[in-house]
Amino acid sequence: MPEFDNFVPQPTADGSFTFFSQEFSESFHSHFGAKQESYFKFVEPTQLAQAALKPFVRLLDICYGLGYNTAAALQTIWAVNPSCHVELIGLELNPAVPQAAIANSLFDHWNYEYTAILTQLAFEQQVQTERLEAKLLIGDARVSIQAVNQSGFLADAIFLDPFSPPQCPHLWTVEFLQQVSVCLQENGLLATYSCAAAVRTALILAGLRIGSTPPVGRRSPGTVAAPNQDTKFSASPPLLIPVSTLLPPLSPAEQEHLLTRAAIPYRDPQLHDSPDVIIMRRQQEQQACLLEPTSRWRKRWLFNTQLRQ
């Protein structure tokens, strides 16, 4: 029996399907809508419709999974500019996941035009066409990201979509995100569904500036990040808008969240510790710190239920 038979499609509220991971005890997408999550938490915050006006766009899809974020990105880019050349790198641990998405015809529910591309990427791990150069790097993203860095790849958009920090802390650490931030070109944007204070602090410590993306489906906002250079300007004059001003600001409650114990980030100094070790290291740091307990912050902002995680 092929390994991808282990994944059974589960419906989500927008009619698209997802899987449940027994290994990580978590669903691959929000039950509010897998497809809408790709568009609203990843493709819109990274402004790909705008980036597609350029002759080429580079994408880094971290935790490629079923390929939904890549699928939404390709559709968005080529709807705006059919001749845009896309260079895509996907990072994924388990090749059975994208293969199971294809084997279960999950893109049929999307009415999707580029299923042949996703099929080849899932089963052959690379695709080369006139307007696409795509590679799916199979393995631990902590290792693959170093190869991406060494290749000099600089992304216009990075999708950061691991399982949640408690289930997959090793892909939310300061050290991993430092590696990721090196791959972001100076006008590039990174998006993630997470608004966890530990994730946001790690992004800042990795040299990025952060903003909040609107809640869609899930009750909580996501995060968008850009390289932290005040003097950096949009690539396309005559706009000359500092990239940092394009990020939607954090609310006062979100800003205060970053001053509580929840904001202590995960750390993985050598990029090879187990999840248990990483979680324990953070707990020890939280116990020793003098930051406000997050429960107190939560009580203060109780009326704002959207921020509760």
Contact footprint for ligand SAM (CB under 6 A): 28, 38, 63-69, 91-94, 97, 140-141, 161-163, 168, 171
Cα dihedral angle (182, 186, 191, 197), rounded to 10 degrees? 70
Nearer to ligand SAM (CB atom), residue 21 or residue 260 = 21
With respect to ligand SAM, which residue has the nearer C-beta, 95 or 298? Answer: 95
What letter represents residue 2's amino acid?
P
Residue placing its CB nearer to ligand SAM in the complex, 83 or 123 = 123
Backbone angles phi, psi at 282, to 5 degrees: -70, -40
Complex with ligand SAM: residue 46 or 69, whichever CB lies closer: 69
Residue 146 beta carbon to ligand SAM: minimum distance, rounded to whole angstroms: 12
Q: How far is the CB of 301 from ligand SAM (least distance, A)?
A: 27
222 Cβ neighbours under 8 A, 6+ residues apart: 41, 45, 191, 192, 193, 194, 195, 212, 213, 215
Indicate the residue whose CB is closest to ligand SAM: 65
> Which residues lie below 8 Å from residue 302, measured CB to CB, with a gap of 6+?
none
CA distance 284 to 306: 28
Least distance to ligand SAM, CB of residue 160, Å: 9
Minimal distance in Å, beta carbon 68 to ligand SAM?
3
Q: How far apart are CA 165 and CA 279, in angstroms?
A: 9
Decide whether 64 or 301 has the Cβ nearer to ligand SAM. Answer: 64
Please, what is the minimum distance in Å from the beta carbon of residue 240 to ligand SAM? Answer: 34
